[in-house]
A and B are shown apart, each in its own frame.
Chain A
Amino acid sequence: MLSNFFVHINETTIHMIQMGILETLYMTLGSTLIAYIIGLPVGVVLVITDKNGFYPIRWLNGVLNVVVNILRSIPFLILLFAIIPFTRLVAGTSIGSTATLVPLVVSAAPFVARVVEQSIKEVDGGVIEAAQSMGASPMTIICKVLLPEARPSLLVGSAIAVTTILGYSAMAGVAGGGGLGDIATRFGFIRYQKDIMLITVALLVIIVQILQGIGMYIAKIGDKRTIG
């Protein structure tokens, strides 16, 4: 009975799905990494240059907020198509998983900036004041107070970011982006291969669970506020 359902499962499709998993992980983790390289500093700058931050710079804060808000308000699916010329410029092509990194990063970086901003904002202002009273420079406060004190929250944020980005990467399948989303679109949706659809969905759920679980676990064991 099961073999009647899984009619399209053979060596070729299994290999394709295996490649899909790798591509999905590549796109997700790759774009998350690049998004953090951009979004982490932006998130920190958003907090410290705020008028209530410890290094207020009004214009910079205003500009960053506007840019982040604009990029955040474009739905990923539309952004994906809208920036195809830019994607071609950067990646040389608009198809395949490497090309998909471009719209993923453009969409994820501002999202990451907001997640980081929230985490950094949770750091107690009194601790920052204490560091200032010791003569800490702004850079020292960022590297030795803000980031380490916000670490558990930043890790929880990164678990949320990575699963959101995984969702985006699957969406990119519509535009020939590669990965499990691409397989689900081409085989599961267009060709009505329900078994392929089921497997890709199940795999996506499992990958999300694993990534989420790892992030939460690291955040929890690393948090020294809840011990004792």
Chain B
Amino acid sequence: MDNNAIIQIKNLTKIYKSRSSEVKALDGIDLTIHRGDIFGIIGMSGAGKSTLVRCMNLLERPTSGEVLFNGIDLSSLNDRNLRLARQEIGMIFQQFNLLMQRTVEKNILFPMEIAGIDHVTAKKRVDELLDIVDLADKKHAYPAQLSGGQKQRVAIARALATNPKVLLCDEATSALDPKTTRSILSLLKDINHRLRITIVIITHEMSVIEEICSHVAIIDQSKIAEVGKVEDIFSHPKTLSAQRLVHPINQSIDFGLEKKGKHFRIVFDGNSSFEPVIGTMVLACKSPVNIMFADTKNIDGKAFGQMIIQLPEDETIANKMIQFLSTQNVSVEEVYNFAE
């Protein structure tokens, strides 16, 4: 067994049965999340990612397969031991899910009441947590008096109260504006660094993955399409679903309308971006190219750029250019009309 794994999912399948039909929400999922990771799980809505994260603390019971937390198969535990295991897995939600009739302080006390922590210790812990999430002045406020970002901070403090090993985040920033999203993400990153808590993030937004995740799994049609380090998947997405998420531009530009020449995507990283690849190519082949799209992204401190160019109609020149590009330190691939 992988000693550094905190969550291991083995051949997990979840089927929802209704009278008339069966829906396979998850199909043969294998996934390993290591201690200290910020692990992103991304997919379109309905891909099964929320079900997957709920299987990690058994809020949803898998139809088959295993969920190992710290090496223990959660479905083998009785109710009591499962509840104890859950105290080591914090969770935050899109809609915050705070107790509306309790103050901020009492919301954060709640998981400690469940865990049976004595009141004096628990109250001290509340103050520590409020410092971490930077909300000490809202201790006696009610959730109705807080903004969305503040509510999520309370939810984070609450989820951390019992010193969990893992924090599950189910679309935790989807109800927030971009600025608040960034501040919540940097808080999560900070928690990961300072408290060494493994974080699992469910999202449909690529920007969330870019911003804080170390690893990512792409889930598409109930299956894991691709999994790996974020920088690897960003620079070399192998599967179509990964490409669609990394290069969403394919969906907005209809290349099918302009059949004049072939389109190529060039992806370069920080090391190759200093070379004037396109300029050199144009000079070498003595023919212009059309730049359709260009973009750079900052992933984990490294610059990633991509560019989509249209090669000339003349096949000899086009082939020459392809030849040229393949000798450069960039990744090149032909782009078709992905608009489906």
A-to-B contact residues, CB < 8 Å: 124, 126-127, 129-137, 140, 144-145, 148-149, 151-152, 222-228
Contacts and interface: CB of A to CB of B under 8 A. Distances in A.
23 contacts: A124-B97, A126-B95, A126-B97, A127-B98, A129-B93, A130-B97, A133-B57, A134-B158, A135-B82, A135-B84, A137-B83, A140-B113, A145-B99, A148-B102, A149-B99, A151-B101, A222-B101, A224-B100, A224-B102, A225-B100, A225-B142, A227-B142, A227-B145
Given A130-B98, A135-B114, A222-B101, 10 more contacts: A126-B93, A126-B97, A127-B99, A131-B114, A133-B168, A134-B87, A134-B111, A140-B114, A148-B102, A223-B101
Query: For chain A, what secondary structure do more than half of its interface residues adopt (helix, strand, loop), or is it mixed?
Result: helix
A135 B83 contact: yes
A138 to B, nearest CB: 9
Interface string B84-114: 1111011101010111111000000011011
B339 interface: no
Interface residues of B, number: 34
B216 to A, nearest CB: 23
Interface-central residue, A136, A137, A223, by most chain B CB under 10 Å: A136
A165 to B, nearest CB: 26
Contacts of A151: 101
Contact of B97 (A127, A148, A152, A222): A127
B87 A132 contact: no
Contacts of B162: 134
A151 B87 CA distance: 27
A199 to B, nearest CB: 42
A136 B144 contact: no
Contacts of A134: 86-87, 91, 110-111, 114, 158, 162
Contacts of B86: 132-135
